[in-house]
Chain A
Amino acid sequence: MPKLKDHHSHLIQLRRELSGGRLDRRGFVRIATLLGIGATAAYSMAGLVAPSVATAQGQPRKGGRLRLALRLGDISDPHTYSWGQDMFARSALEQLTITGVDNVTRPLLLERWEASADLKTWTLHLRKDVKWMSGREFVADDVIWNLKRALDPATGSATVGLFSGFLLEQYQSGGTDASGKPKTSQRLWDANAIERVDSHTVRLNGRNPLLAVPEHLYHKQLFIMDPEDGGVFKAGSNVTGPYEIVEYRQGQRCLMKARADYWGGGPYIQELELIDLGDDPNAHLAALASNQIDGWPWLDNVTLDAARRLPNVAVYEAQTANTGAARMRVTEKPFDDPRVRKAMRLAIDNTAILKLGLGGLGYEGEHHLVAKVHPDYAKVEPLKRDIAQAKRLLAEAGHPDGIDAKIYLKASPAWEGQVVQSMIEQWKEAGIRVQMNPVPAAQYWEIWKKVPLGFTDWNHRPLGIMLLGLCFRDGGAWNESGYSNAEFDQILIKAEGTLDAEKRREYIAQLEKILLEDGPIVQPIYRSIFSAYSKKLKNFKMHPTNYNYYKDYWIEES
């Protein structure tokens, strides 16, 4: 098998792209690290200085308790986390890789990885110094069990959508669906697709090339659990991470304690206490103001100004690809007609929605989820608001008098309601009469893949293509709209396996155009995200995905 490190063909090509100006320095670092080059070396090759652990905020101090306001629902199945359990589970369960605030992916439970020249074979070398809390050594079988479980469609993990072109194949699972088509499912394309090389080496043998394997391994559901826990996570479960969960009272409180025998750096803060304050942003603000909590990771826009005025609190912001989109289920009338879906997009003025719904705290969406902050973004002609064309398309689709629909959304956070309300007002002009149906957040995640019209928020991902794979690939667990387009899927597979930045961008442009014409979403905005933390928390850096590693921060009482 040709190894990248043997001939460095991709690296030579990357350096050529860098010197030719077709790839910027950060893009070079990102891709070079994906190919297995160490982050420090990659930064140096690009003429940049790697971010240092030493900070301007002094030396780490051990001790203290950090209290955070977060919703505390069911945490039992990490491979299917959807509503934000990962926000704190990340401090106990770990992943094979980690994408930092600089958008560069590094090994976490891995020591390093190697990619074959054709990007089809990835060899993952595990760290040898990692031990489970129980004292057992972390080994290849742990990784294989977790990967196989997450990639089994029966588990219901969205990981399937990310790896489906690479490690999985579609097959007819027997019987027919409601429309008479044979039912299909996905399975590993080869018995050796996930191969145990030795006790600390796992090899992924792909069917197609895939460049973003290390980034996909950082998918928020791909936590490494102890197989002996049988896929059930709870207080006391075995972990490799810096904290263990010692108490979990759903809807109320979670207490995590630092592990003295953690294999990595930190943790400095000795206890993390998570408190569920419900959905009311005012309660969160009051708790912050009176020092009952030290952090509110998902600061609600409606309380932004008030939070900024609190003397004890620092507000952090990240410009991200965090977004919200109205998605139409393509199997349901009237959204089964692409003309109706396009009319929904044409009736919207994204700039106006940004202003009305978000108070300008973000930038315009483009109806395809690939954002300008993504390194693989391709600029295509954006859709402009065109009421006449929207009405014409509706009429052609058999709706000369417009359509009526009900949109489901979460009752909180408040920005979602404001964005949807703004969209509803704009849709009216094109004869699209939409009624708002807010439901509690927990209930929304029960129905988000089922309602004909829903508004779903999507967290930032380091690559736009990751979202395309998660949301629009046929059969993906997070393909909430039921979108199925063979041409789209084929181009997506090609894009995923292309290293050449220009060529890859061409594929992405094709995918974006398909979504503008035929796609299942109306995506008016990207939003900045905000967190509020007590000023005594040091070394905090806002991650664009809000994936925080509390082990790296410390508390400095003034």
Chain B
Amino acid sequence: MTRFILRRLASALFTMVAASLIVFVLVEASPGNVARKTLGPFASDEQVQILYERLQLNDSLIVRYGRWLGIITGLRADPLQNPSLGLKFHDRRGDRYVGNFGFSTMMKIPVADVIWQRLANSAALAGLAFLVIVPLAIAIGILAGLNAGRPLDRAITTLSTVFASIPEFASAVLLMSLFAVWLGWLPGTSPLQAGGFWPIYSQFVLPVTVLTLYVTAYVARFVRASMIEVMATPYVRTLMSGVVVTEVVFAYPGLGRLLLETALFGDIALIEAATLIAVLIAVATQLAGDIGYMLLNPRIRFA
């Protein structure tokens, strides 16, 4: 069993390293060099050249990747904080700490100042949705499986197909119009600010419902096919894609909305950080799923 867990851990670590390399290469390979992207697309060539040299961007890709990993893991100081560059980048944690993703060019603050709170918000949204989705999807799936071929099964299958086919932004706008604008039962956005007569918990209802409708319908179909042989993976993957859209529509201050805004802006430090964190979550849930599956399934445990 220990060997199984170690093997999975090694595999997860390898996936993370590979993913970080891909993220790094993709960001580096997008048009313009890092100095240009840090200073903005229309900074003078002279300014870009100075930063290019100071950041030693002439070195090979693998050397730069190593340096970048060094900064993230706190082994190296972040050169962007060097006052002589005149970028006015200042981080109260210093220039060397674990989780140093650098500076957001969009927000002009350290990535670490913004990303963890956003991640916590997204985790709260996804976690709540998960709590609703898992029992609901299993119950619906089992109900359909036990009544295979009967009218109840056909009704569940049809409804699941319909709900899984409605994109989140459409169901979000529909539910928002119905419950917030027309009936006035729920708040229309979820900025997670208390105030007025909408407590924060009420701001979770519509986003969680949107995610639940989509993901439950999707996962229930798996459950019906294989009863309870469902791992965390399809939930998580589907949930993560849904979170981005839901956060944008409801102005929810989570990692998904941040990721979209930074991608549109071209804020490389935030893109790298948000992407790596998303990959880390995917890898960690896969690992947890594998281990959980092993504990439940003796054929794997004793193999």
The one of A250, A251, A280, A289 in contact with B180, judged by C-beta atoms closer than 8 angstroms, is: A289
By a CB distance below 8 angstroms, the chain B residues around A450 are 41-42
By a CB distance below 8 angstroms, the chain A residues around B258 are 251
B189 CB-CB contact with A under 8 Å? yes
The one of B106, B108, B173, B195 in contact with A292, judged by C-beta atoms closer than 8 angstroms, is: B195
Evaluate contact between B251 and A283: CB separation under 8 angstroms: yes
Q: Using known A-B contacts A73-B107, A252-B253, determine if residue A292 contacts B189 with beta carbons closer than 8 Å.
A: yes
Instruction: Give chain B interface residues in 243-259, CB to chain A under 8 Å.
Output: 248-251, 253, 257-258
B170 CB-CB contact with A under 8 Å? no
Pick from B41, B186, B257 the residue with the most CB of A within 10 Å.
B41
A344 CB-CB contact with B under 8 Å? no
A278 CB-CB contact with B under 8 Å? yes
Evaluate contact between B173 and A282: CB separation under 8 angstroms: yes
A460 CB-CB contact with B under 8 Å? no
Residue numbers of B with Cβ under 8 A of A are 40-42, 106-109, 114, 173, 176, 180-181, 184, 186-189, 191, 193, 195-198, 248-251, 253, 257-258, 261, 264-266
Min CB distance B105 to A, Å, is 8
Beyond contacts A251-B258, A253-B191, A447-B42: 11 other A-B pairs, Cβ-Cβ < 8 A, are: A250-B107, A252-B253, A283-B251, A286-B188, A289-B181, A291-B196, A292-B195, A292-B198, A439-B265, A440-B261, A450-B41
The one of B108, B114, B188, B193 in contact with A275, judged by C-beta atoms closer than 8 angstroms, is: B193
Instruction: Give chain A interface residues in 66-105, CB to chain B under 8 Å.
Output: 67, 73-74, 76
CB closest residue in chain A, given B108: A74
CA A120 to CA B241, docked complex, whole Å? 64
A302 CB-CB contact with B under 8 Å? no
Q: Using known A-B contacts A278-B251, A282-B249, determine if residue A292 contacts B42 with beta carbons closer than 8 Å.
A: no
Q: Could you list some 5 contacts between A and B, CB below 8 A? A: A251-B107, A275-B193, A280-B251, A443-B264, A443-B266
Min CB distance A36 to B, Å, is 41
Min CB distance B189 to A, Å, is 4
A361 CB-CB contact with B under 8 Å? no
CB closest residue in chain B, given A306: B181
Min CB distance B66 to A, Å, is 30
Evaluate contact between A273 and B107: CB separation under 8 angstroms: no
CB closest residue in chain B, given A283: B251
Q: Using known A-B contacts A251-B253, A275-B191, determine if residue A286 contacts B42 with beta carbons closer than 8 Å.
A: no
Evaluate contact between B181 and A277: CB separation under 8 angstroms: no
A442 CB-CB contact with B under 8 Å? yes
Q: Using known A-B contacts A277-B191, A442-B265, determine if residue A291 contacts B198 with beta carbons closer than 8 Å.
A: yes
By a CB distance below 8 angstroms, the chain B residues around A314 are none
CA A286 to CA B41, docked complex, whole Å? 35
By a CB distance below 8 angstroms, the chain A residues around B198 are 290-292
Evaluate contact between A273 and B251: CB separation under 8 angstroms: no
CB closest residue in chain B, given A534: B196
A114 CB-CB contact with B under 8 Å? no
Instruction: Give chain A interface residues in 227-268, CB to chain B under 8 Å.
Output: 250-253
By a CB distance below 8 angstroms, the chain B residues around A276 are 191, 251
CA A310 to CA B251, docked complex, whole Å? 20
Residue numbers of A with Cβ under 8 A of B are 65, 67, 73-74, 76, 250-253, 273, 275-278, 280, 282-283, 285-287, 289-292, 310, 411, 439-440, 442-443, 446-447, 450-451
CB closest residue in chain B, given A438: B264
Of all A-B residue pairs in the complex, the 4 with the closest CB atoms, nearest first, are: A286-B188, A450-B42, A277-B251, A283-B251
CA A46 to CA B16, docked complex, whole Å? 76
By a CB distance below 8 angstroms, the chain B residues around A291 are 196-198
The one of A251, A278, A292 in contact with B188, judged by C-beta atoms closer than 8 angstroms, is: A292
Evaluate contact between A290 and B184: CB separation under 8 angstroms: yes
Pick from B109, B180, B189, B249 the residue with the most CB of A within 10 Å.
B189
Evaluate contact between B180 and A286: CB separation under 8 angstroms: yes
By a CB distance below 8 angstroms, the chain A residues around B41 are 446-447, 450
CB closest residue in chain B, given A282: B173
Min CB distance B261 to A, Å, is 7
By a CB distance below 8 angstroms, the chain A residues around B257 are 278
Min CB distance A270 to B, Å, is 13
By a CB distance below 8 angstroms, the chain B residues around A282 are 173, 176, 249
Evaluate contact between B266 and A292: CB separation under 8 angstroms: no
Evaluate contact between B248 and A278: CB separation under 8 angstroms: yes
Evaluate contact between A287 and B114: CB separation under 8 angstroms: no
CA A475 to CA B261, docked complex, whole Å? 33
The one of B109, B188, B197, B265 in contact with A250, judged by C-beta atoms closer than 8 angstroms, is: B109
Evaluate contact between B250 and A283: CB separation under 8 angstroms: yes
By a CB distance below 8 angstroms, the chain B residues around A287 are 187-189, 191, 251
CA A73 to CA B193, docked complex, whole Å? 18
Evaluate contact between B106 and A443: CB separation under 8 angstroms: yes
CB closest residue in chain B, given A286: B188
Evaluate contact between B108 and A411: CB separation under 8 angstroms: no
Q: Using known A-B contacts A289-B180, A290-B187, determine if residue A67 contacts B251 with beta carbons closer than 8 Å.
A: no
By a CB distance below 8 angstroms, the chain B residues around A310 are 181
By a CB distance below 8 angstroms, the chain B residues around A252 are 191, 253
CB closest residue in chain B, given A443: B265
CA A275 to CA B173, docked complex, whole Å? 20
By a CB distance below 8 angstroms, the chain A residues around B261 are 278, 440
Min CB distance B249 to A, Å, is 7
Min CB distance B247 to A, Å, is 9
CA A325 to CA B221, docked complex, whole Å? 53
Evaluate contact between A283 and B249: CB separation under 8 angstroms: yes
CA A287 to CA B192, docked complex, whole Å? 12
By a CB distance below 8 angstroms, the chain B residues around A442 are 106, 265
CB closest residue in chain B, given A444: B265
CB closest residue in chain B, given A448: B42
Evaluate contact between B197 and A277: CB separation under 8 angstroms: no
Min CB distance B239 to A, Å, is 21
Evaluate contact between A283 and B196: CB separation under 8 angstroms: no
Evaluate contact between A447 and B40: CB separation under 8 angstroms: yes
CA A442 to CA B264, docked complex, whole Å? 10
The one of B114, B184, B189 in contact with A277, judged by C-beta atoms closer than 8 angstroms, is: B189
CA A65 to CA B196, docked complex, whole Å? 9
Evaluate contact between B196 and A440: CB separation under 8 angstroms: no
CA A76 to CA B109, docked complex, whole Å? 11
Min CB distance A63 to B, Å, is 15
Evaluate contact between B189 and A273: CB separation under 8 angstroms: no
CB closest residue in chain A, given B42: A450
Q: Using known A-B contacts A440-B264, A440-B265, A442-B265, determine if residue A251 contacts B189 with beta carbons closer than 8 Å.
A: no
Evaluate contact between A74 and B107: CB separation under 8 angstroms: yes
CA A286 to CA B261, docked complex, whole Å? 20
Evaluate contact between B248 and A280: CB separation under 8 angstroms: yes
